């Protein structure tokens, strides 16, 4: 463990004097949420890439008003590999050390076989890790699901997570929390929801029917798991649209080339600008990948 920690801190310090980053689609007054997902190959083979992502978040926290970081699962590739968990644990502790709010959930690669599949995940990212954080709202089954509370553009938000494999208790808990915080704008984070064809998976359809449709405060749904990117807009009423997004770059070079999503919340405009950027490459997605990688969400007409 000490060797892993030392290696991470050494890389952390060596990256702090890196090159200037390219300008991004950020305007004065925006507030930013960062979205990571499916970083499993970084944990396995390329930890320096994930360190670069977290380093960018820390270095640019003030400049880009970074309020929060999502991770939608597959923190590791082999759940029984202690080294992968130690790497991810230490890298994410960089956010703990700098007090940047973040949340994680378990993907299928984070689960072990047996009667207690969440055992290793909760050992590393269970309730105990977050309980003293001021943004942390509460837990379902030792962080199999959880929710965070914060303010973005003077609006109360709830970020609510549920890990891989649904059960009746999970659905019930999600609805209970969303009803309790019906005055908060809600962003839902799952591992398995939307696929690259921009269609909901069977698990995603169950969540849509049993959770999304029942809660008028849901605005966004984020997910990974399936390779590639996807986008689906569902209009639930004249007043409510729900934007559902998939992002998973793990099949690209070096386990994803460091690409991550940036969500810029616009002041008083009910708009979110979505962009895709790699601190590792210091570049945006190529033009041929757009508009699936850079687009504007109009939350209300």
Tokens standing for residue 141: 């089954």
- The DSSP letter of residue 216 is T
Instruction: Break the chain into its structural domains and give their ranges.
Output: 2-12+32-298
Residue 21 has pLDDT above 60, yes or no: no
Helix (H, G, I), strand (E, B) or coil at 82: helix
Report phi then psi at 136, rounded to 5: -75, 125
The domain made up of 2-12+32-298 has a fold known as Purple Acid Phosphatase; chain A, domain 2 (3.60.21)
Would you state the pLDDT for residue 270?
87
Residues 58, 66 contacting (CB under 8 angstroms): no
Q: What is the pLDDT of residues 243-286, one digit of tens each?
A: 999 999 999 999 999 999 999 999 977 899 999 999 999 998 86
pLDDT reported for residue 11: 47
Tell me the sheet residues that pair with 70: 35, 103
Structure tokens at 278: 């790699």
Given a cut of 70, whether residue 221 has pLDDT beyond it is yes
Tell me, what's the pLDDT at 2? 43
For the range 286-295, what are the long-range contacts, defined as Cβ-Cβ under 8 Å and sequence gap of 24 or more? 292/229, 292/231, 293/229, 294/25, 295/231
CB of 265 closer than 8 Å to CB of 231: no
pLDDT tens digits for range 34-62: 999 999 999 999 999 999 999 999 999 99
Q: Which two tokens stand for residue 144?
A: 């199999």
Tokens of 156: 């109360």
**Residue 154: helix, strand or coil by DSSP?**
coil
* 8 A C-beta contact, residue 115 and residue 92: no
Q: How far apart are CA 274 and CA 260, in angstroms?
A: 10
């Amino acid at each position: 463990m000490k060797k892993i920690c030392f290696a991470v801190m050494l890389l952390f310090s060596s990256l702090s004097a890196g090159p200037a980053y390219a300008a991004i689609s950020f305007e004065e007054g925006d507030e930013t949420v960062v979205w990571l997902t499916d970083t499993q190959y970084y944990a396995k083979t390329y930890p320096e890439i994930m360190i670069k992502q977290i380093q960018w978040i820390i270095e640019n926290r003030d400049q880009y008003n970074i309020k929060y970081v999502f991770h939608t699962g597959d923190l590791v590739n082999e759940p029984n590999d202690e080294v992968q968990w130690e790497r991810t644990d230490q890298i994410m502790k960089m956010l703990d050390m700098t007090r940047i709010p973040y949340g994680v959930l378990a993907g299928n690669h984070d689960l072990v076989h047996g009667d207690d599949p969440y055992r290793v995940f909760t050992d590393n990212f269970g309730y105990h890790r977050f309980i003293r954080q001021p943004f942390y709202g509460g837990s379902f089954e030792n962080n199999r699901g959880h929710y965070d509370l914060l303010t973005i553009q003077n609006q109360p938000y709830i970020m609510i997570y549920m890990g891989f494999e649904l059960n009746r208790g999970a659905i019930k808990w999600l609805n209970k929390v969303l009803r309790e915080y019906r005055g908060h704008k809600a962003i839902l984070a799952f591992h398995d929801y939307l696929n690259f064809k921009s269609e909901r998976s069977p698990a995603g359809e169950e969540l849509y029917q049993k959770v999304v449709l029942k809660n008028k405060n849901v605005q966004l749904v984020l997910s990974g798991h399936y390779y590639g990117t996807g986008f689906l807009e569902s209009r639930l009423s004249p007043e409510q649209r729900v934007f559902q997004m998939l992002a998973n770059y793990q099949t690209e070079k070096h386990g994803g080339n460091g690409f991550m999503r940036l969500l810029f919340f616009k002041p008083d405009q009910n708009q979110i600008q979505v962009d895709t950027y790699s601190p590792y490459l210091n570049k945006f997605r190529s033009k041929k990948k757009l508009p699936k990688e850079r687009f504007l969400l109009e939350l209300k007409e």
